[in-house]
Amino acid sequence: MGRNATGESLWNKDWLWALAIILVITLLSGLGQFRGLDEILFTTFTRLTPATPTPRIDIIAIDKRSLKSLGQWPWPRSSIARLLNIADAGKPKVIAITLPLNTPQVTPGLEALDRLNQLFKTEGLDGWTATISRIGHQLPAAEANSLVHLGTTLSRFARQLRADKDKLNQDLSLTQSLAAIHNVDLIFTYAPGVTQGNPDTPLPALLAKNRFPPNASRMNLISPPTAYTLNLPLPQFLQHALGIGAIGGQTLGWNRFTGMPLAVSYYGQTLPSLALLVAMQSLNLGATDVHYLPGKGLRLGSLLIRTDDTLRIHPRVYRGAHGRAAFNTYSFADVLNGNVDPNVFRDKILLIGPVGMAQGGVPAETRLGLLADAISSILNQDPYYTPPWVKYVLLAAWGFSALYLTWLLPLLGNRLAGALTASLIIALGAASFYPLYTRGIWYSPTGPALLLFSGYWLIMLKRRLFNGQGLLPGSNANLENLRVLGLAFQSQGQLDLAFDRFRHLPINEQSLELLYSLALDFERKRRFDKAKTVYEYIARHRRHYRDIRERMKRTQTLSEISLAPHPSNGDTPGNGGTLILHHSGVQKPMLGRYEVEQEIGRGAMSTVYEGKDPKIGRRVAIKTLPLSTEFQGEELEQVKARFYREAETAGQLSHPNIVTIFDAGEEDDVAYIAMEYLHGRNLTHFVGKAGLLPVSSVLEIVAKCALALDYAHRHQVIHRDVKPANIVYNIDTGDVKLTDFGIARITDASKTRTGVIMGTPSYMSPEQLAGRKLDGRSDLFSLGITCFQLLTGAPPFHADTMATLMYKITNEAHPGLNALRDDLAPCVSPIINKVLQKNPDKRFQTGRELANQLLRCARDIREQMA
């Protein structure tokens, strides 16, 4: 199955791989997955084909300079009104304001005057003039004159109140300006959506005047974007504006690539965009002068604007002479302050709006620039467009690319195929760029070009894989480089990189030997899944090579064992970070350069192995910490960095009573520390009442630990986890070694998955339990608890719950030593009482001070026994 009549594999055929990539690329293109590439290519090409804009457009920009001069936005609308009056003095053809004017501009002063005016009317003061006049005829002359004066004052107050209110009414100022000018266009925005039924209110008269008649203009043949709701300017502005047009930006999908619609549909009514409306007015055209020509675009009088049936245009990219801006741009503040001669605006299309401020999520500079480009593209009749015949050109390009991949490319050698494919891709790009540059015709060649590119590389990849050449170049020099590099990686313990190099070698006896040796190294590292992968790779090429079938089965079993949940923690993968040491036919495990012999101890989070440095034959103890089973993500990286810092710090300590650190490293997310191999047992073997050491021996052991801590403290190292399990004692020689410097900083400061503090707090000082900053006196407190337990067979503080235990350590006094053991010398209890003080200032301040007291007491005890 899968082979032809000659026995050659069907999957080795280039045309079959070409057919597969053709189907995939065609499907992705149909789903629009290359639209981003199309836009990038369109943007690049259009920047290389700038056009000259119409000189009829000027821009008055609300820019940073204006904001600095006139204050932060929003400004009073009277400023806009003043600017309109100044600009109108130059007699521009059309003025378009791109600012939203859909809400009243109410200042605190105007609100206060309005409330005062309402109060004046509510209290009936506006009617008192007539009342006073009527009453005045019935009173004496003097009183009548006073009433007349009061009436006159009230009338004057009412007139002044109305005058001041009108003066502060910014909307009234802008309304009066619009009424005087009569050639200002405003904008409306809209929410896109499908409309049904009838609108809540009829179209305002200004919108109804500018809508396109559907039948006479053939507007019934188009399908512009639909508007669900319109966001219109205030009615007083609409009453005096010349026209109103739609404007939008990227929030509505409007940009140069996707196209800007020249109209929107609102309940069946086709309303012009601001760009189209301004262009029409500049040409003295009305809505009845605009017609849609199917397959071509809009006819504006004698102008033909290329659009699709949604009335979208793709504005040109314009550039001014000598690298200047495309359109003459003036600062709002300069025009308002009289620094610009209004006559420069004569017969111009004047666009007024902000630059650099966002409006509705669209940068105003983009909105204003696109508007100017769109108007210029309409007047110049030069927008980018895609004629109907382009689809046949693209269909031919797709067909030629598919034929090339399935028929011609399989006949070519690798180098010729690469050169010809690159030439065809460049030709496709040129064939797209040339019509865009000369006539503004756009079509994207990304689909056929990606088909050629992907097809070529897939077939080249297939040729290498099926020819056994691998993915990298296959010259003798390159193959030797791969072999040497792979061996170098293997010797450095970077086995994954070594395998990546070895599998690109041609399959022969030499390469199989390299791969087999690499699989054995994976076994030594206890990476059984990786070893199985290498054995499977060998088996695909040499099924019966050596004993790989048995090794594949064995590594499969061991891989499953290593990935099984730990019995005590169902969601911890692997074996709790331990190593599988004894299994038939499995190589001895390695941690870094150390060969692991046997397990010699286990703690809450760590496991200790006896190992050997094969290079110098030195026996070592290797403590492993499976950090990846307790930490995740950034926390894991932070803990690893802290682990190496603490190991480095502990490695710099050199003291007879501190274990020597040789090395630290990481193997498959298991951190390890190689240290001096110690003879003896930790003090947990001597804390039971049945196995207590002599009192003088305990005091000497603790004194040696205190001297070791004094040395560490003077080197700015705090142990943080002094307890019997971390003190090794050789009963034959009397040697004492303090171990695990810095490990507590990694484990005890962290939380397990269930939120319990790692380790036991029975030996922690009150300040350590409280999370305060620690110094060496905290270690001395922990050493005091250890001494108490070695003397009495029980710790001074114990409880059924963690919270109770922590409370006792922090608040309750320890039991008296003599109450628990009446045979102690008198000098022992005062030492323990002082070292277990809650307040660090009341304890021994240094380890040497504590050691001196302990040794003096031990000497006294021995002298009494002599």
Q: Mapping DSSP to helix (H, G, I), strand (E, B) and coil, where does residue 693 land?
A: coil
Q: Is the pLDDT of residue 5 over 60?
A: no
Least confident interval from 75-84, 351-360, 515-524: 351-360
| Domain final residue, candidates 335, 362, 380 | 380
pLDDT class of 750 with cuts at 50, 70, 90: very low
pLDDT class of 411 with cuts at 50, 70, 90: confident
| Domain final residue, candidates 436, 466, 496 | 466
pLDDT class of 58 with cuts at 50, 70, 90: very high
Answer yes or no: do 651 and 777 share one domain.
no
Per-residue pLDDT, averaged over 110-134, amounts to: 60
Chain mean pLDDT for the chain: 81
Question: Can 721 be counted among the known catalytic residues?
Answer: yes
Quote the pLDDT of residue 116: 62
Answer yes or no: do 201 and 320 share one domain.
yes
Query: Of 381-385, 414-418, 662-666, where does the model show the most confidence?
Result: 381-385
Quote the pLDDT of residue 635: 73
Residue 4 lies in a domain: no
Q: Is the pLDDT of residue 466 over 60?
A: no
Question: Residue 283: which of 263, 300, 262 has the closest Cα?
Answer: 300
Per-residue pLDDT, averaged over 339-368, amounts to: 80
Residue 572 lies in a domain: no
- Higher-pLDDT residue of 623, 427: 427
Q: Is the pLDDT of residue 575 over 50?
A: no
Both tokens of residue 713?
Answer: 């403290």
The DSSP result for 466-505, as a single string, is HTT--SS---HHHHHHHHHHHHHHHHTT-HHHHHHHHTTS
Both tokens of residue 645?
Answer: 């810092």
Quote the pLDDT of residue 622: 85
Answer yes or no: do 782 and 837 share one domain.
yes
Least confident interval from 182-191, 227-236, 500-509: 500-509
pLDDT in tens, 636-657: 777 777 777 777 777 788 899 9
Would the annotation count 13 as a binding residue? no
Q: Is the peptide bond before 261 cis (omega within 30 degrees of 0)?
A: no
Answer yes or no: do 508 and 550 share one domain.
yes
pLDDT class of 838 with cuts at 50, 70, 90: very high
- Higher-pLDDT residue of 261, 648: 261
Residue range of the domain that includes 413:
10-50+388-466
Answer yes or no: do 691 and 817 share one domain.
yes
The whole-angstrom separation of Cα 288 and Cα 290 is 6
Residue 2 lies in a domain: no
- Higher-pLDDT residue of 628, 20: 20
Answer yes or no: do 519 and 591 share one domain.
no
**Domain total in the chain:** 6
The whole-angstrom separation of Cα 546 and Cα 847 is 62
pLDDT class of 399 with cuts at 50, 70, 90: very high
Per-residue pLDDT, averaged over 443-451, amounts to: 92
DSSP assigned state of 623:
E
Residue 574 lies in a domain: no
The DSSP result for 778-824, as a single string, is HHHHHHHHHHHHHHHSS-S---SSHHHHHHHHHHSPPPPHHHH-TTS
282 near 215, Cβ under 8 Å?
no
pLDDT class of 348 with cuts at 50, 70, 90: very high
Per-residue pLDDT, averaged over 654-666, amounts to: 87
Per-residue pLDDT, averaged over 578-602, amounts to: 66
Residue 3 lies in a domain: no
The CATH number of residue 857's host domain is: 1.10.510.10
The CATH number of residue 546's host domain is: 1.25.40.10
Per-residue pLDDT, averaged over 773-780, amounts to: 92
Residue 420 lies in a domain: yes
Per-residue pLDDT, averaged over 714-731, amounts to: 90
Number of residues in the chain: 866
The whole-angstrom separation of Cα 39 and Cα 34 is 9
Both tokens of residue 601?
Answer: 């101890």
pLDDT class of 837 with cuts at 50, 70, 90: very high
pLDDT class of 3 with cuts at 50, 70, 90: very low
Residue 568 lies in a domain: no
Per-residue pLDDT, averaged over 177-195, amounts to: 90
Q: Is the pLDDT of residue 1 over 60?
A: no
Answer yes or no: do 93 and 131 share one domain.
no
194 near 228, Cβ under 8 Å?
yes
β-partners of residue 539 are: none
pLDDT in tens, 448-465: 999 999 988 888 887 666
Quote the pLDDT of residue 167: 66
Q: Which of 14, 721, 740, 779 is catalytic?
A: 721
| Domain final residue, candidates 513, 534, 563 | 563
Answer yes or no: do 672 and 684 share one domain.
no
Answer yes or no: do 684 and 824 share one domain.
yes
pTM: 0.52
Q: Mapping DSSP to helix (H, G, I), strand (E, B) and coil, where does residue 51 land?
A: strand
Answer yes or no: do 67 and 39 share one domain.
no
Q: Is the pLDDT of residue 834 over 80?
A: yes
Q: Is the pLDDT of residue 253 over 60?
A: no
Q: Give kind and range of the element (H or E) at residue 820.
A: helix 817-820
Residue 807 φ then ψ, to 5°: -65, -45
365 near 386, Cβ under 8 Å?
no
- Higher-pLDDT residue of 386, 643: 386
CA distances from 449 to 76, 390, 398, 417, 421 (A): 55, 16, 9, 15, 9
Residue 799 lies in a domain: yes
Quote the pLDDT of residue 433: 94
Q: Is the pLDDT of residue 756 over 60?
A: no
Q: Which stretches of 123-231 are DSSP H helices?
A: 128-136, 141-168, 170-181, 205-210
Per-residue pLDDT, averaged over 798-821, amounts to: 89
Answer yes or no: do 282 and 195 share one domain.
yes
Answer yes or no: do 318 and 396 share one domain.
no
Q: Is the pLDDT of residue 729 over 90?
A: yes
